[in-house]
Amino acid sequence: MKLKNLAKTLRFGVGPLGREREKAAKRKRREAKFRDDGIWLHEGDIVQRKYASYQAYVEHQASKLDGIRSRLDDTIEEDYQDFVRRFRDCAVLNEAANVLCLGARLGTEVRALHALGVFSVGIDLNPGSDNRHVLPGDFHAVAFPDRSVHAIYTNAMDHVFTIEQFMGEVRRLLVPGGHFVVDMVDGYAEGFTPGDFEATAWRDKTVLLERIAACGGLTEVEVRDLGLLRNERWMQAVFQLPLDDSGSASREVASAARPNA
Ligand SMILES: C[S@@+](CC[C@H](N)C(=O)[O-])C[C@H]1O[C@@H](n2cnc3c(N)ncnc32)[C@H](O)[C@@H]1O
């Protein structure tokens, strides 16, 4: 037995009871970190992780993949099947001429969209090496032109630096009448506690939905319960950009706010 595992066994005991004790201790540590004003800026209903600079945010987010690579190998098939299930019933994704996935990591969601016959590509700060489905890039400053994307999907709202910058890009990229589909976990007042890599957290889902609509100039079309994935409850919200969105104001805001502009 590895030394780390031996220490855990001595501390929490063996069997299901030991595992429950270990989980409870982990949960407590996570909650304490989230309450820590040194780590999180608790102002308003949307709270932010404190970063020394934008570069520090980028480096922190990009470092996540290496630490979870071995865990991902165990869960990737389950994740893929779950994406297929989530997307199969989402008409706007199935009907879109193209779908851009923001924060797509290894491209599991992109592969699921391909399986449903949808043209899709992802971007991520760290897509790993030799990734055929995901381009390296920052979702606060996407390389694609204005009004070039028919639908945008993300499950990474909790990793954005600011919702305003992120949604400015969504609005800039979408064609008029285009859709934004977001899968989200509960808010911190609803039972979800952010971990070591979340950069943004919301009090509850209503707060997030309102902020997305306001910052993106979008109309909420539908919200549905996706059920549980590894003990977390997920919801899916669909938004639409109005057909008459001039977009000019948002494009100016988005490019002024672009961290790398
Ligand atoms: C919770 S993971 C989700 C990954 C993927 N969507 C999935 O479910 O397999 C969040 C992802 O967002 C990426 N990310 C964080 N900040 C980003 C940024 N500014 N631009 C692009 N990707 C970012 C991280 O690298 C990470 O892969």
Range among 6-10, 85-89, 227-231 with highest mean pLDDT value: 85-89
Distance set, CA 201 to CA 23, 24, 91, 189 (Å) = 22, 21, 28, 10
Domain positions in the chain are: 1-35, 41-257
Which residue has a Cα nearest atom 6 of ligand 1? 104
Average pLDDT for 110-128? 97
Q: What is the mean pLDDT of the chain?
A: 91
Cα of 185 vs centre of ligand 1, distance in Å, is 14
Pocket test for ligand 1, best of 61, 84, 161, 166 (most atoms within 8 A of CB): 61
Cα of 189 vs centre of ligand 1, distance in Å, is 23
Cα of 64 vs centre of ligand 1, distance in Å, is 9
Residues 65/126, Cβ–Cβ less than 8 Å: yes
Q: What is the pLDDT of residue 261?
A: 37
Q: What is the pLDDT of residue 249?
A: 47
Query: DSSP string covering 57-106, please?
Result: HHHHHHTHHHHHHHHHHHHHHHHHHHHHHHHHT-HHHHH-S-EEEET-TT
Ligand 1 interacting residues, C-beta cut-off 6 A: 61-62, 64, 79, 103-105, 108-109, 123-126, 138-140, 155-156, 159
Q: What is the pLDDT of residue 49?
A: 97
Q: What's the whole-model pTM score?
A: 0.90
The pLDDT tens digits of the residues spanning 120-178 come to 999 999 999 999 999 999 999 999 999 999 999 999 999 999 999 999 999 999 999 99
The pLDDT tens digits of the residues spanning 58-106 come to 999 999 998 888 888 889 999 999 999 999 999 999 999 999 999 999 9
The neighbouring-strand residues paired with 225 are: 235
Q: What is the pLDDT of residue 229?
A: 74
Cα of 155 vs centre of ligand 1, distance in Å, is 8
CATH architecture for the domain at 41-257: 3-Layer(aba) Sandwich (3.40)
